[in-house]
Structure 1
Amino acid sequence: MLGLFVRNLSNTLEDTVGVREASVLMNLVGLAVSDDIQKEYLEAAGKNKLSRADVTQAIIDLKQRIGSDFYIIEDMEDRIIFGNRRCPYGDLAKECPTLCMMTSHMVGHLIAESQGYGRVTLAETIARGDRACRIVVNLDPDGPDDGGLSYYASGTA
């Protein structure tokens, strides 16, 4: 039932305001959701700021709670690569690829609030027909630009 709601909402947004504008609206929703999620993880950890390890585990936990199969492919100083073998939206994602932007925005905002900056690239997505998702998070704002979206901590840019 939730999937039907999400699909219809996404399609209505795309049809009404266009794909680009729907993505902007999804960004706003992603920001609001990630703020609430961050508050919950901060409260649970009893901290004012999540460490890199904390935020990485929070992202995996969050995505698994909604039905994804998120895991770390690579964790290096300047980037983190997440994998996902199961889309929580199932086949709906193929009909509404803007749903993937929710992942980008939530991951990007959570990483940025923890690390100051994060550029999220949806290198591979199930929605685009790939067998799995590959989400690359670059932590160096001066690193090579692979076409992802940049996210900054609140109050910076």
Structure 2
Amino acid sequence: MSNDAENIAEQMAALKIPLDRDLFMRTLIRELADVLQDVVGAEQASSFISVVGQLMGKRINEQYCKALDATSLSREQVAAVLVDLKKRIGGDFFIVAQDDEKIIFGSRSCPFEEKVVGQKAMCMMTSNVFGSIAAANLGYAKVHLQATLAEGQPECRVVVFLKMSDEADAVEGREYFKSAAG
């Protein structure tokens, strides 16, 4: 490489541009969600993101089960897995309460950070990953996004119902069922 090319490369590397792999990927996902929403509408965008979330949930569940040398996880393990996976990807999820009927999660930050604001369709990733993992292990889940950072709330509140009930029926959410294949 010539001296001019080296100088130019050094000049580029020294630029104060806020760009790294993480920011690039979060921005890419945000832009994809925006384009989907503009082209097919908010509801269809949520549906497309839901499909990706279900596939991600299946893969993540397989990884945790393999690492734990388990064919399925208990409720307590499912709750711990959902908190752990969010921590691993930069979220700040925590368990508010849990019993045999439901697990309630809170979160003070989203892995998508500021890119999620105004983009509720991106919350379908959490809904589907949580719902897919819970249903794969416990047979059923209904995920209710009670409050989200995407909507401008100060923190997320996600309720994962583990049984069909009047309380679960009374709220909006997506239902997930264990597939016949496991």
TM interval, short-chain normalised = over 0.9
**Runs of 5+ unmatched residues, structure 2:** 1-23
1:35 to 58, 63, 88: 58
Task: Indicate the residue corresponding to 1:91 in structure 2.
Answer: 114
User: What root-mean-square deviation, in Å, do the aligned CA atoms of Structure 1 and Structure 2 show?
Assistant: 1.3
Identity, % of aligned pairs?
36
Greater Cα offset, 49-58 or 35-44: 49-58
List structure 1 runs of 4+ shifted beyond 6 angstroms. Answer: none
Please give the TM-score of this superposition, normalised by the length of structure 2: 0.82
Match of 2:176 in 1: 151
Select the residue among 43, 65, 79 that pairs with 1:20: 43
Q: Following the alignment from structure 2 to structure 1, what is the Cα–Cα distance between the partners of residues 123 and 159? A: 13
2:136 to 113, 116, 125: 113
Which amino acid in the other structure matches residue 96 of structure 2?
Answer: I
SS across alignment from 1:72: strand
Please tell me whether residue 80 in structure 1 is matched to residue 103 in structure 2.
Answer: yes
How many positions carry a matched residue from both structures?
A: 156
Q: Scaled by the length of structure 1, what TM-score is found?
A: 0.95
The structure carrying a bigger helix percent of its residues is: 2
Deviations 1:102-149 (A, max 9, x none): 000100110001110011100011111111000011111133221111
Larger Rg: 2
**Consecutive unaligned residues in structure 1, runs of 5 or more:** none
Task: Measure, in 2, the Cα distance between the counterparts of 1:4 and 1:147.
Answer: 28
